[in-house]
Structure 1
């Protein structure tokens, strides 16, 4: 389970909204002050991202710090779909185009390139379709793990209810 601390910013009838801060890897480096990348990271500040979670069985109030988690399987499946499906489509269509056009004595690489672009686009659209299918699936959403703070002072645990 990939875990991240977040702050509750809204509690609605059927869900809660939590806010996390996207952290740069430079923020934990000892060379932050003497590194060009670290200086750029400090100049642009931190970005905040909001997530909607199902209303938990735990009592949650605005301002509470919570621990949310996402399954590694979900993250890896989404990455596979979003990054690799278009690449697979590109390669398969390029190879298909190369051999198909060679059978017709058309050997210009531009046609293979066009086949590859079409294949990459088809892979992209397949990944987009699959992501829309699972968007409302509860297994593909972040889960509230516990209400507490970063200092391991667990106030309430989701699994203890």
Structure 2
């Protein structure tokens, strides 16, 4: 399970909208965390407000609570494959097919191959979007609030003497 600390900004029936907290000095995931540039994006400079995420809220966290949000590692791998591999494979397959179909008609043109590749890329992106939106209906693939920071954790197995 991959965990991240976040702040709840609003709640709705069974869900919470959160803003992930950024760690100083990068993500903290490896030895080069202080000099890593992979966490910064040029689009971060243009974004005026932090990115909000919708998560399951089984603990009834309230706005202003600091929470720990978790997501299954397998779900993250599947979403990464959908976001990167499916569009890339779509682009390559449709570009090759487009080149061959155009060659059957006697058209040998790189522009047709490029346009076919772009069509495959867009198709792969749309297919990835469709698959990911349908999988979001499954609770196994959704991020969930695991605990509220600062709230005592109840252990039903604790023995009272």
**TM-score > 0.5, shorter chain as reference:** yes
TM-score (norm 1): 0.70
CA RMSD of aligned residues (A): 3.6
Gaps of 5+ in 1: none
**CA deviation after TM superposition for structure 1 residue 88, in Å:** 0.8
How many residues in Structure 1 have an aligned counterpart in Structure 2? 148
Higher helix share: 1
1:126 matched to 2:123? The reply is no
TM-score (norm 2): 0.70
Deviation per CA, 1:118-142, whole angstroms, max 9, x where unpaired?
1112112211211221233222211
The list of structure 1 runs, each at least 4 consecutive aligned residues, that deviate by more than 6 angstroms after superposition, is 43-46, 157-160
**CA deviation after TM superposition for structure 1 residue 158, in Å:** 9.6
- Counterpart contact for 2:86–2:128, Cα < 8 Å: yes
Which deviates more, 9-18 or 92-101?
Answer: 9-18
Deviation per CA, 1:78-125, whole angstroms, max 9, x where unpaired?
121122211111111111122233333322211111211211121122
Distance in 1 (CA, whole Å) between partners of 2:73 and 2:55 is 18
- Counterpart contact for 2:8–2:64, Cα < 8 Å: yes
Q: Match of 2:137?
A: 136
- Counterpart contact for 2:68–2:147, Cα < 8 Å: yes
Q: How does 1:17-96 map to 2 (within 5 A)?
A: 17-23=17-23, 26=26, 30=34, 48-56=50-58, 58=59, 60-96=61-97
Q: Match of 2:153?
A: 156
Gaps of 5+ in 2: none
Which deviates more, 6-15 or 129-138?
Answer: 6-15
Distance in 1 (CA, whole Å) between partners of 2:60 and 2:146 is 13
